[in-house]
Amino acid sequence: MVIKDCISKAVQILTASGVENPLLDARVLLGRVIDKTDVYVIVNSDNEVSDKDADTFFSYVKRRAEGEPIAYIINEKEFMSLPFYVNPSVLIPRPDTEHLAALAIDLVKKENYTRIADFCTGSGALAVSVSVNCPEVKVTGYDISPEALDVAVKNKKTHNAGNVDFKILDVINDLDKINDKYDMVISNPPYISRDEMQLLDKTVGEWEPHLALFGGEDGLDFYRVISSFADVFLKEDGVLAFEVGHTQAEDVALIMSRNFCDIKIKKDYGGINRVVWGRFLG
């Protein structure tokens, strides 16, 4: 079977299953199987695909048709122009989170920060991205999931991020056990409310770890806890920066106003308030 026939058949299968971008997904999956770029797949549509590769490709197509996210099928997601290994133990990095990474990188460089932490680090995408762009800063990523930290360590090694460490921590219950003070803490915590959990797209709700999604009844539990324990882990005048849900910026800013000043809100690519940050009053 040639490339164009593989793609055509895959598009039919994915379309019938209601996949949103069947042609793009088919090209990505086939490119991964034959170890070629999407452009190669388009330009060389008459090239033959081996029976073995075709079998692998259609097994991937079947998984995609069943709703499994592309990132889990190919075990990779790009973030901050870097490839990150992902599996179902971690949340798939989103473009929106790049705004939090960019803010952290900018502040580390401007303020000459030497130590920062990433709470609920998951795949380590935030921590590793900051380290790659600011190799002089010491970064510690915390997460409750040992399986997630296995993924984070793998990404650390892939990108030679020698100044990153990862530690097990239950952020909700054990923040008082942190013995270090940081110049800055960043976090993309679980922030989906109970009602929103019922409305999630099936590619999220049925595949991504609920531990990394559910933020309590109103989705704000992690913001309350992390903000209230700032004196444990932040230096005086240190910065705390969160990614927030699309309706949560004002609520999170209010939560932070009790012990933070100079609170700012940053929009994402879609013009939605996505990052809230401020300086600890100490």
Assess whether pLDDT exceeds 90 at residue 214. no
On average, the pLDDT of the chain sits at: 95
CATH of the domain at 257: 3.40.50.150
Domain limits at 275? 81-280
236 and 99 in one domain? yes
Give me the pLDDT at residue 144, please: 97
If you average pLDDT over residues 44-60, what whole number do you get?
A: 97
102 and 19 in one domain? no
Give me the pLDDT at residue 147, please: 98
Is there a domain that residue 74 lies in? no
Assess whether pLDDT exceeds 90 at residue 231. yes
What are residue 235's phi and psi, to 5 degrees? -70, 160
Give the Cα separation of 258 and 261 in Å (integer). Answer: 8
Is there a domain that residue 76 lies in? no
The domain total for the chain is 2
Report the percent of the chain where pLDDT is more than 70. 100
List, as one string, the DSSP characters of the chain.
Answer: -BHHHHHHHHHHHHHHTT-SSHHHHHHHHHHHHHT--HHHHHHTTTSB--HHHHHHHHHHHHHHHTT--HHHHHT-EEETTEEE---TTSPPP-GGGHHHHHHHHHHHHHHT--EEEEET-TTSHHHHHHHHH-TTSEEEEEES-HHHHHHHHHHHHHTT-TTEEEEE--HHHHGGG----EEEEEE----B-HHHHTTS-HHHHTTS-GGGTB--TTS-HHHHHHHHTHHHHEEEEEEEEEE--TT-HHHHHHHHTTTEEEEEEEE-TTS-EEEEEEEE--
Is there a domain that residue 12 lies in? yes
Assess whether pLDDT exceeds 80 at residue 160. yes
250 and 119 in one domain? yes
Is there a domain that residue 15 lies in? yes
Give me the pLDDT at residue 277, please: 98
Q: What is the pTM of this model?
A: 0.93
Assess whether pLDDT exceeds 90 at residue 206. no
User: How deeply is 242 buried, as exposed, middle or buried, from its count of CB atoms within 10 A (0-12, 13-18, 19+)?
Assistant: buried
Q: Give the dihedral of Cα atoms 269, 68, 10, 62; nearest 10 deg.
A: 180
**Least confident interval from 47-51, 60-64, 167-171, 192-196:** 192-196
Is there a domain that residue 252 lies in? yes
If you average pLDDT over residues 98-103, what whole number do you get?
A: 98
Give me the pLDDT at residue 222, please: 97
Assess whether pLDDT exceeds 80 at residue 35. yes
202 and 129 in one domain? yes
Give the Cα separation of 195 and 188 in Å (integer). Answer: 20
20 and 95 in one domain? no
Three-state DSSP state, 157: helix
34 and 58 in one domain? yes
Assess whether pLDDT exceeds 80 at residue 127. yes
54 and 180 in one domain? no
Give me the pLDDT at residue 193, please: 86
122 and 99 in one domain? yes
Give me the pLDDT at residue 203, please: 76
**Least confident interval from 137-146, 191-200, 233-242, 267-276:** 191-200
275 and 160 in one domain? yes
**Final residue in a domain of this structure, among 18, 37, 66:** 66
